[in-house]
Chains A and B, each alone.
Chain A
């Protein structure tokens, strides 16, 4: 079974000049994403798993497979810890 990721439906978010901003209305916390993180965030759509997200990142930034996988994994862990994304069995 593959695990895909989706953004938490309670959030409001926006990308401005390549930077990501996520507001959690529950605690009014503002999360700020740098351009790489924002690029990954934009690809999270409830249909992509970790590998697919890493593939999107490699395409956008022309980085090697290992770097892309590591960056995506670390970022997803942060997002999961903060409750900003959800794992969905697919």
Chain B
């Protein structure tokens, strides 16, 4: 098929991915890589490169909306970004050493695990005990607005959170995903940061993490402008449409359908990876 047709098809797929990703809050990145690799037969390194670009675009574009409410904690975000960016570098370097088939299998497994983790009910927030000394030293604790006024929260288990963020960074750099869900999980469950603070802070972090690995991908020649162009523009368009529609659509059904799609993609990636179809 011609380049023009290919670009158009790719762009359309990207719009759909971005739209669904923003509606369900699960992110378009997890769909872009399988879409490119399985449906369009693109080499997985190019696919991951293009997906990283779209992750930067959507997260940076959306960040402005989250800032206004005063939920995100810049200090937590910046401190943890040391871990995520180093992890992203490690992941990007690892991508050169690991075969594309192995990357596909890892991708599928991560997809399965994150689908499972996000379907579990969230644990109850424990009441504050004594503050974590590291959190106090780094002034990570903060407040966030609630109906009762500003509520304080304390951050716990900072080293564990840091380690988990490093892992999230590796996944982002290796697989071209935002790892947003993983980051939120780490902040919410391990570090006991309130959910809304976790999600907004995570949104800020995703773009920076992806940029760290995208730089490596770009200089390695893994980013093909012909691919990245329709993917980036399509996902941007799709996710901005999605946020506009967000209020009126019952997301629970969509989430369910999306989870099924993700399961199918995960299975296919693992299968293709193992049988060497990629």
Partners in one complex: no
Q: Residues on A close to B: CB < 8 A? A: none
